[in-house]
Amino acid sequence: MPDIVLATLNAKYIHASFGLRCLMANLGELRDRACMAEFIINQQPLEIVEAILAHEPRIVGFGVYIWNVEQTTEVVALLKRIRPELIVILGGPEVSYETEGQEIVTLADHVITGEADVKFAEVCCELLGFTAGQRSKEAENSDLNSAPLPLCPSAATPNVPKIIAAELPALNNLASPYDLYTDEDLKHRVIYVEASRGCPFTCEFCLSSLDIPVRAFPTDAFLASMQRLLDRGATQFKFVDRTFNLHLPTSTGILTFFLDRWREGLFLHFEMVPDRLPEQLRALIRRFPPGAVQFEVGIQTFDDATSKNISRRQNLDRLEDNFRFLREETGVHIHADLIVGLPGEGIESFGRGFDRLVRLGPQEIQVGIL
């Protein structure tokens, strides 16, 4: 039985959890003592709890997001009621920036804030009685690959506080998560990938604005991972980079890579900065067949005063020119976002912005309520 269960509640089955795979890939010597358990938010909490407890774990790590925090809170409450000695560790954006007053934080034993790829493994090593690469005296006679390691009593783990801030990991030192996508995942689920982390902007309403600085994975290693996924039959790639078109050499390199290996059924999703589309990118985008690429474009507001209020910088003239290019000269599917309720913007101003966006002709408009 595994000592560690990595769990999360996805919005739908088609969404494969990228975060769990990043944690699993970087568990090091604990990887053989861990398993992943993915659920969906419409499953009954008791059903999820029973599935987790069937593994008889000693540590459960949950990825907590805006779409699952309510359901995950119910699951954690049940777990602690049934097995109070079970150690629950939380991570993810919903518990990384606001920990005070959240019921789920109160229920959990530990919360790791920030990028936990490396820190989660370190914390588990401490709690299981040894440090990475060196066992504690309590476990020095145990066989790491067979005999269970004792959990350290709380008095023996003074360095594991309730709230643990993770240092930014060096991306070039992280183990790749992509081999953890199963053949079933590749056939039936969206494959999430990332070429970079962080966001250069400071929008007041967005958690991504706190993820600084922007850092990129080594391009050669990243593309080698994409090649392995293609060789295994992957067709649906969703990039989670917040600003795919921020660094021109990287974005052109990735688009060229997929163009050179294009096959029927391949689909790429990117989040892009709407006012940055230089000719080098335009030339590549024109070459993709209709419907093969989707751009998620966060406009949020067309009102200049509101943009200043939320510290958002964008050139609306260039934005509109880029929209016209995408709609008239390419087969790109555009998903555009606006937000209702931004500070300083009334319903009339939002309505004008909505009409302006409709005239630009995106295939999808998503309106968020702040």
Query: What pLDDT does 188 receive?
Result: 94
37 DSSP β-pair partners: 7
The answer to whether residues 139 and 189 touch, using CB atoms and an 8 Å cutoff, is no
Query: What pLDDT does 47 receive?
Result: 98
Q: Would you state the torsion angle of the CA atoms of residues 22, 24, 27, 30, taken in this order, to the nearest 10 degrees?
A: 180
For the chain, 370 residues long, give each residue's pLDDT as a single digit of tens: 899 999 999 999 999 999 999 999 999 999 999 999 999 999 999 999 999 999 999 999 999 999 999 999 999 999 999 999 999 999 999 999 888 889 999 999 999 999 999 999 999 999 998 544 444 334 444 443 444 444 444 444 447 999 999 999 999 999 999 999 999 999 999 999 999 998 776 665 555 545 567 899 999 999 999 999 999 999 999 999 988 898 899 999 999 999 999 999 999 999 998 889 999 999 999 999 999 999 999 999 999 999 888 888 889 999 999 999 999 999 999 999 999 999 989 999 999 999 999 999 999 999 998 7
The answer to whether residues 30 and 85 touch, using CB atoms and an 8 Å cutoff, is no
CATH 3.20.20.70 holds for 4-165: no
Query: What pLDDT does 202 receive?
Result: 61
Query: What pLDDT does 242 receive?
Result: 87
The answer to whether residues 299 and 319 touch, using CB atoms and an 8 Å cutoff, is yes
Q: Would you state the torsion angle of the CA atoms of residues 165, 168, 170, 175, taken in this order, to the nearest 10 degrees?
A: 60
Q: Which residues contact 38 (CB under 8 A, 6 or more apart)?
A: 7, 8, 10, 16, 17, 20
The answer to whether residues 303 and 356 touch, using CB atoms and an 8 Å cutoff, is no
Q: Which residues contact 13 (CB under 8 A, 6 or more apart)?
A: 40, 188, 189
Q: How large is the C-alpha radius of gyration of the chain?
A: 22
Query: What pLDDT does 129 receive?
Result: 84
Residues in the chain: 370
Residue limits of CATH 3.40.50.280 in the chain: 4-165
Q: For residue 119, give both structure tokens.
A: 């820190």
Residue 38 DSSP label: E
Whole-model pTM above 0.75? yes
For residue 297, CA distances in Å to 9, 333, 355, 364 come to 26, 10, 16, 10
Between CA 367 and CA 243, with CA 369 as vertex, the angle to 5 degrees is 60
The answer to whether residues 8 and 106 touch, using CB atoms and an 8 Å cutoff, is no
Q: For the domain 181-369, what is the CATH code?
A: 3.80.30.20
Residue limits of CATH 3.80.30.20 in the chain: 181-369
